[in-house]
Structure 1
Amino acid sequence: MLAFIISMMQSYEKSHGVRPQLVYLNQKHLIQLLEECPWLQGMEDRPALGFRIVLISEKELPHPRVIWIPPLRRQYQIKRNMAEVETPCYDGPYCAAVRH
């Protein structure tokens, strides 16, 4: 899953000229990512990934997506997403479960 995410990010960057900062995943994608990369589970051992993971329901997001948010809008969007947090998907700063 991590290789797939990196591939999506590289493709997006090549097409749009900017590196995406958000990766939208559903619960199944997140579980697969954490199974492949167990080091993401430990907060003190987690390196900076260079992107944030936003968890969205499988019904609304059948496939992973990457996006880039312009700097001024990004602060508002992240704050808005964080205000909608229901429960974190795991202990870590890279993931927020967004109510949808």
Structure 2
Amino acid sequence: MKKLIKIASTVAAAAAIAVAGEGVSNAAQGGVTGVPPHAWFKVARSELVNWNTQAACTSTGVSRWNCAPLAAAVDRERARNPRANGYWSEFFVNGSTRSGTW
């Protein structure tokens, strides 16, 4: 009986995650932090199989205006380093960007 309850609760949790649209596969992160304030975004290469870079960025809650230069910087890194495990970028208030891989 305990095993059945455990299985049922696991199935219910998985269904709740699926309905909410969240899960392990969406590990992209982003935000606006720091001094001076800057927007940042990081995403694993495996995530970009199912998402385009702009969609992955906006899924983190970063505004689409900040995501445009962030996604462009990540796309440049992807072109230079297609086998990297992941990509990150930062966009500063003066219009400059930084990006890299891991």
Question: What is the TM-score when the length of structure 2 is the normalising length?
Answer: 0.31
Question: What is the TM-score when the length of structure 1 is the normalising length?
Answer: 0.31
Give the structure, 1 or 2, with the largest relative contact order (CA under 8 Å, sep 6 or more): 1
